[in-house]
Amino acid sequence: MAWNYRTIIEPFKIKSVEPLPFLSRGQRQRALERAGWNLFHLPASRVLLDLLTDSGTNAMSGMQWAGMMQADESYAGARSFFRLEKAVRELTGFRYVIPVHQGRAAERILFSFLGGRGKIVLSNTLFDTTRANIEFSGARAVDLPIREALDFDSPYPFKGNLDLQAFRQWIRRHGASRLLCVVTLTNNSLGGQPVSLQNLKGIRALCRRHGIALFLDAARFAENAYLIKLRERGQQRRTSREIARQMFRLADGCLVSGKKDGLVNMGGFLALHNPQWAQQARNMLILTEGFPTYGGLAGRDLEALAQGLEEVLDEEYLKYRIRSIEYLGMGLLRAGIPILRPTGGHAVYVDAGRLLPQIPRHRFPAQALACHLYLEGGIRAVEIGSLMFGRKARAELLRLAIPRRVYTQSHMDYVIEVFSRIHRKIHRIRGLRILEAPRVLRHFSARLRWV
Ligand SMILES: Cc1ncc(COP(=O)(O)O)c(C=O)c1O
């Protein structure tokens, strides 16, 4: 049936509910004061809508909960591991499946033997933990996003793409033997933007010609596949599953944090073709995560992840998911709030630098906006700007990440309404200054005050 109504219908019924805490403005003010104007310090019980992250905040299905009850908790050779292995093999085509407790464990394991001094990892843009694990191994991490990725108004549909011209230059200058490539799908650090199949094929061709190993950081593989289906010429008739399978088959391996498109709260995996790499990875896994058939997870987590990988490629789910993000983005634009366009897979990024021109970067405009969003409506979001990255910040963004299957269209309407109210008094918003902060990753624990 062609379903062409404007209303977004969540493709599920709600069987289990969790009440939301409604606080008065005074209570929110006191909570934020106690948190030192840093939303990471807020207890979740003080937050009405939590848009801090889409990672590990998913709602699971009845099938996933049922699978958890039936899971096999054997130490070695658990049935639930084989179920996950089968699901990952069918999806990715990789023979060796190595479960880990979350994405960064896969990163640490892979780069412990493929990274190291002298190696260079090229990427469209590495996520922070991926970069940190690469650099920790002694290797160098380099981002090569396309030019359009940094132009927030460009309607370019695949801003997650890697700059192939720049890639060729790195091969020419440094020689292929030192290089590795990691493509992040979707590109979380630059707006959750997708990578096109055409770009992936171009990267594959270069890597194959020069013998460079290609990995996908595929935490949001299903959202990327659906955005290809929507936006790339010739892909409309294919299923998201077919597209996802093709994406994985272009690479030598993948790192997956299951906390995003695995539709679980904890879990992940590393999957590879190469038996020597798999052996090295398993040796490391035993040392730091656990036996190769559980890798830091309970049998019930393996079971839930296997089921989640099936459910996430449902076309009705993906349609609802991507349309909800777009719906929120369009609503904010109509309310006069500038956002990074086009909207991508898992979040809407508000351009706080442009919205609050009266606040200089060192007074953290996006953090000021985050505080007002909480004060006005109890909504928690995250600053991605000068508080997080210091002088290296490329822009002053506020990310509204949407947990999967958790909120409905009316929750999104509420977010838009709260932003409209803030917009009316936008010129009155002041900046913040840091009272105390550690030297690294200061955004997690800094305490601030209004200037
Ligand atoms: C693109 C990407 N890669 C890797 C990770 C790390 O995964 P985890 O948080 O499961 O360690 C994340 C987490 O947000 C991510 O967004």
- In angstroms, rounded to a whole number, what is the distance separating the alpha carbons of residues 58 and 277? 31
Are 25-54+314-450 and 62-311 in the same CATH fold? Answer: no
Nearest CA to ligand 1 atom 6: 103
* 62-311: CATH number: 3.40.640.10
Nearest CA to ligand 1 atom 14: 55
Token digits of residue 287:
């040392």
* Residue 449: strand pairing partners: 433
Is 1's pLDDT higher than 70?
Answer: no
Question: 186 CB under 6 A from ligand 1?
Answer: no
Query: Mean pLDDT, the chain, as a whole number?
Result: 96
Nearest CA to ligand 1 atom 7: 103
Nearest CA to ligand 1 atom 16: 188
Write out the catalytic residue numbers: 75, 127-128, 217, 219, 260, 443
Is 199's pLDDT higher than 90?
Answer: yes
Give the three-state DSSP class for 395.
Answer: coil
Is 166's pLDDT higher than 80?
Answer: yes
Q: What is the pLDDT of residue 4?
A: 74
Question: 193 CB under 6 A from ligand 1?
Answer: no
Q: What is the pLDDT of residue 169?
A: 97
Alpha helices in 73-188 (DSSP H): 79-92, 103-114, 128-136, 164-174
Residues 223 and 401 sit within 8 Å (Cβ to Cβ)? no
The two beta strands, 120-123 and 179-184, are parallel
Q: How do residues 353-378 score in pLDDT, each as one tens digit?
A: 999 999 999 999 999 999 999 999 99
Output the CA angle 236-405-10, nearest 5 degrees: 65
Element (H, E) at 379: strand 379-380
Q: How do residues 390-400 score in pLDDT, each as one tens digit?
A: 888 889 999 99
Token digits of residue 393:
């910040």
Q: What residues have CB less than 8 Å from 168, skipping those under 6 apart? A: 206
Percent of the chain with pLDDT over 90: 93
Q: How do residues 285-320 score in pLDDT, each as one tens digit?
A: 999 999 999 999 999 999 999 999 999 999 999 999
CATH superfamily of 25-54+314-450: Aspartate Aminotransferase, domain 1 (3.90.1150.10)
Q: What residues have CB less than 8 Å from 31, skipping those under 6 apart? A: 23, 42, 43, 46
* Residue appearing with tokens 């030297």: 439
Question: 268 CB under 6 A from ligand 1?
Answer: yes
Give the three-state DSSP class for 437.
Answer: coil
Break the chain into its structural domains and give their ranges.
25-54+314-450, 62-311
Residues 348 and 339 sit within 8 Å (Cβ to Cβ)? yes
pLDDT-based confidence at 2, cuts 50/70/90?
low
Region 212-238: mean pLDDT is: 98
The two beta strands, 382-384 and 397-401, are antiparallel
Q: What residues have CB less than 8 Å from 326, skipping those under 6 apart? A: 342, 343
Closest CA to 377 of 14, 16, 7, 32: 32
Q: Lay out the sheet containing 397-401: strands in order across.
A: 347-351, 397-401, 382-384
Q: What is the pLDDT of residue 3?
A: 64
pLDDT-based confidence at 188, cuts 50/70/90?
confident
Helices 240-249 & 79-92, crossing angle to 10 degrees?
A: 90
Token digits of residue 43:
């207890």
As a 3-state breakdown, the chain gives helix, strand, coil percent values, each rounded to 5, of 45, 15, 40
Residues 146 and 161 sit within 8 Å (Cβ to Cβ)? yes
Backbone angles phi and psi of 318, in degrees to 5: -65, -35
Backbone angles phi and psi of 35, in degrees to 5: -85, 5
Complete DSSP assignment for 225-270: HHHHHHHSTT-TTS-HHHHHHHHHHTSSEEEEETTTTT-SSS-EEE
Specify the ligand 1 atom closest to the Cα of 268. 10
Question: 103 CB under 6 A from ligand 1?
Answer: yes
Q: What residues have CB less than 8 Å from 207, skipping those under 6 apart? A: 181, 213, 214
Token digits of residue 147:
């030019």
Region 119-125: mean pLDDT is: 97
Complete DSSP assignment for 169-217: HHHHHH-GGGEEEEEESSBGGGTSB---HHHHHHHHHHHHHHT-EEEEE
Q: How do residues 35-88 score in pLDDT, each as one tens digit?
A: 999 999 999 999 999 999 999 999 999 999 999 999 999 999 999 999 999 999
pLDDT-based confidence at 440, cuts 50/70/90?
confident
Percent of the chain with pLDDT over 70: 99
Cα 6 to middle of ligand 1, angstroms: 33
The DSSP output letter for 59 is P
Question: 129 CB under 6 A from ligand 1?
Answer: yes
- In angstroms, rounded to a whole number, what is the distance separating the alpha carbons of residues 346 and 402? 6
Is 89's pLDDT higher than 80?
Answer: yes
Element (H, E) at 12: none
The DSSP output letter for 427 is G
Torsion of CA 201, 142, 189, 145, to 10 degrees: -50
Q: What is the pLDDT of residue 22?
A: 97
Region 337-361: mean pLDDT is: 96
